[in-house]
Amino acid sequence: MDPIATAREEYRGDVLTEETVDPDPLVQLRRWLEQAFAAELSEPNAATLATVDRDGWPDARIMLVRGVDERGVSFYTDGRSAKAAQLEAHPVATLVWHWQPLYRQVRLRGPVEPVPDEESEDYFASRPRASQVGTWASDQSAPIADRAALEAQVAELDDRFAEGEVPCPPHWVGYRVRAEEVEFWQGRPARLHDRLRFRRDGDGWALERLQP
């Protein structure tokens, strides 16, 4: 038998109920993120970002979320990248977190807006120096001849910024997904999972349980 077709794992996650979930889904998302960090999972802030290009084709990639608060979920990237071009064409996105050891998943979607420049610059300043130089050296998503060409660009920029701090490049940008819908998924035995979905309702949230 094909192992892809026959693979099975019994999910034995915690119970997720309307009474135990926080009434604010962004607070609940932070709670689950903190629990994933406490469980020492690898990069628990990694999420799949789904976007749509100018031709209507969906696209997705895994990236690192850098902020979750009442305003939404923020991340940073090269403003010349494919994801940035797609967000310019269609400023909406979906984020998905998956923490398999905890049998948990979160889906969040909503409109996307730019993060203020000062926030993007502050985050850039907090990055390791090598990552800062790499951001200058790489024209993200653009073709390049080979690995050696990329390393040569890095070496050139490393020399240029040998003295002092690495400045924030003009193409460095941040985005924030303003949550309009958030679904929390908790794996349970016999595939009878708990699914609670929040939707914007005026200034608050409406909560409903979904069938697994």
Rounded to 5°, the CA angle 72-46-44 comes to: 100
Q: Are 77 and 175 in contact (CB under 8 A)?
A: yes
Q: Residue 121's CB: how many other CB atoms inside 10 A?
A: 15
Domain ranges of the chain: 3-127+169-210
pTM, two decimal places: 0.93
CA distance 181 to 73: 12
Q: What is the pLDDT of residues 158-185, one digit of tens each?
A: 999 998 899 999 999 999 999 999 999 9
Give the residue numbers marked as catalytic.
Answer: 191
Which DSSP state fits 180?
Answer: S
Asked if residue 1 has pLDDT above 90, the reply is no
pLDDT one-digit tens code per residue, 138-149: 999 999 999 999
Q: Are 182 and 106 in contact (CB under 8 A)?
A: yes
State pLDDT tens for residues 81-132.
999 999 999 999 999 999 999 999 999 999 999 999 999 999 999 999 999 9
CATH topology of domain 3-127+169-210: Pnp Oxidase; Chain A (2.30.110)
Is 29 a residue whose pLDDT tops 90?
yes
In this prediction, residue 3 carries a pLDDT of 86
